[in-house]
Each structure stands twice: as C-alpha cells, then as structure tokens.
Amino acid sequence: MSAPLVTYLGDSNLKVAFLAEITKHETEDALIKGSYGQMKGTFKGCAIGCALHSLNLLHGKTGPASTEATAAHHRFEAELGLPTWFAYLEDQLFELLPGDLARTWPRRIAEAIPVGAVVDDMMLATILRWTLADPEWGVRYATDDDEIRGNIDIIVAAFDVELATGRRVSADQREAATRAARATRAARAAWAAWNARATRDARDAWAAWAASSQASDEHSSLGKADAFITTLSEFVLTLLRTLPTTTQGGDGRESPALP
C-alpha cells in the first residue's frame, strides 16, 4: 500500500512560497475563468492554471517553460501532496463562484490547507454527502418525489458507513447504492464521483456533480446557484482548516503548522 499524500509535502516553506505566488496572481488580476493559461505579455489562467504556473516558477521554469502543463491536474499529487480529485474540485468551484469570491478563491483555499495533513477519500465522501443530504442545500430536499429521495437516502447511507468505519461498504450495499444511483441523476452524479476515486474519471464526475447542483439551486430560497456554490466553498474551507496535521519544516523537522 502506498503512503498517503501529505499536504505541501510536509514542508511549511513550500506553503509560504506557493501562497506568495498565488497572491501575486490575485493582486495582478491574472485569474480568469475558462482558460488553463495564456501568455499575452503576462500569464493569465484559471485557478488550476495559475496554481501550476506558480509551481513552474517555484521549480525555476521561466519564459515559455512556465506555461507548460498548466492543465495537468494530476501534478497536485507530486507537487502539493493533494489528490487529483481535489484539483478538479478547486477548479470547478472557481469556475462557478461569483465575482470577487472566484478571484480570491485560489488564495483562500491555499491558505486553508494546513501543512502536513492528509486529504483523502473520506473528505471527498464528506463533501459529496453534503451535496446530497445537507438539511438546507442537499439535493434530497430539492424534490418531493419519495422515490428519488429513497434512492438518494440509499447512497447517503453508504457514505455514512464508509465515514463511520473508514472502510468501503460491502458488495451488497455498493450494488444497492449503484442501482439507486442509476435511478436518480443527482444521486448518480455523486456516486460516480465517489466511485471515480479521483482518478481519470474525476473531471467527468465533478461535471456531473455540477449539473446536479441545479436541483439544489431550485430549492434555494434565493433561487440562486451562487448561494449554493458559495456555501459549498465555505464548507470545503472549514473541512480543510480542521484537518489534523503532522507537520515537518523544509529541513524535515517537525514545526508548528501554518493556519
């Protein structure tokens, strides 16, 4: 079994340097939606484009080399100690957040990630469960159809088992959840994302999840997708800030975690 990924590779200096670069993108108005990177005098790109461009600069890649691989979400694993699914999540939320909340999102999420923590599948399950079952925003409460609610409840129950035990549900439970997911689009989207385990299907899974959020939008008292996405982004930040850490400094010695 491979060792778990550790945020910022356990190096507080990496967080300081990465955050400084991300802040430059924000202050220089270099964050734009819909592009992983364009060099027209200066680099501009989306949340992931700017993050990977920042890493290029930290690795000493300048000029044309600094625009290389700025759409390669999987780089988060080796260079930031974060799973690929997390890169897609950050990407999707950036594209969906409104105005200044989008512009400040890359810095805010980089700040919220502690040094020396593990962002694992249990966090993904927690986020997906929230989109389905949160009492105010969950897709379950966007419909009065008892059959759809029942299908969503089956999947929520599967999430609950995994979150409580840290282990995957039984084959019978997984089969029941899969059948329920096929019957309900919103449930299917979340279950697909969970089954993807943030590998090659993560992008499609998060796209499906984004489509399913329309149901939550219809439930919102404001009738605005912005409110749903904003609340979800804050939920993600809260989860990150409360992660336990075993932190090491750049020299390999333990040091206090950055906030």
More confident residue, 254 or 66: 66
Task: Determine the pLDDT at residue 205.
Answer: 61
DSSP state of 130: H
Distance separating alpha carbons of residues 178 and 238, to the nearest angstrom: 29
169-194, pLDDT tens digit by residue? 677 777 887 787 777 777 777 777 66
Q: If you count them, how many residues does the chain have?
A: 259
Nearest to 129 by CA among 156, 106, 149: 156
Which tokens sit at 79? Answer: 């260079």
Residue in this structure with the two tokens 């899969």, named with its chain if needed: 178
Distance separating alpha carbons of residues 186 and 47, to the nearest angstrom: 26
Distance separating alpha carbons of residues 87 and 77, to the nearest angstrom: 9
Helix (H, G, I), strand (E, B) or coil at 108: helix
pLDDT higher than threshold 50 for residue 217: no
Which range is least confidently modeled, 75-89, 104-118, 134-148, 206-220? 206-220
Q: Which residues pair with 43 in a beta bridge?
A: 39
pLDDT higher than threshold 50 for residue 76: yes
Query: Which amino acid type is present at position 135?
Result: P
Task: Determine the pLDDT at residue 203.
Answer: 60
More confident residue, 130 or 247: 130
* Phi, then psi, of 149 in degrees rounded to 5: -60, -40
81-97, pLDDT tens digit by residue? 999 999 999 999 999 99
pLDDT higher than threshold 70 for residue 218: no
More confident residue, 195 or 88: 88
Q: Quick one: which H or E segment has residue 202?
A: helix 202-219
Which range is least confidently modeled, 62-76, 133-147, 172-186, 195-209? 195-209
Task: Determine the pLDDT at residue 220.
Answer: 42
208 close to 132: Cβ distance less than 8 angstroms: no
pLDDT higher than threshold 80 for residue 257: no
Query: Which amino acid type is present at position 250?
Result: G
pLDDT higher than threshold 50 for residue 131: yes
More confident residue, 107 or 67: 107
DSSP state of 8: G
Give percent above pLDDT 70 in the chain.
Answer: 80
Distance separating alpha carbons of residues 208 and 19, to the nearest angstrom: 30
Average confidence score pLDDT of the chain = 83
**E-strand spans in the chain?**
38-40, 42-44
Confidence of residue 212 (pLDDT cuts 50, 70, 90): low
221 close to 228: Cβ distance less than 8 angstroms: no
228 close to 98: Cβ distance less than 8 angstroms: no
Distance separating alpha carbons of residues 25 and 27, to the nearest angstrom: 6
Please count the helices (runs of H) and the strands (runs of E) in the chain. 11, 2
pLDDT higher than threshold 70 for residue 196: no
Task: Determine the pLDDT at residue 214.
Answer: 54
pLDDT higher than threshold 90 for residue 141: no
Distance separating alpha carbons of residues 238 and 110, to the nearest angstrom: 13
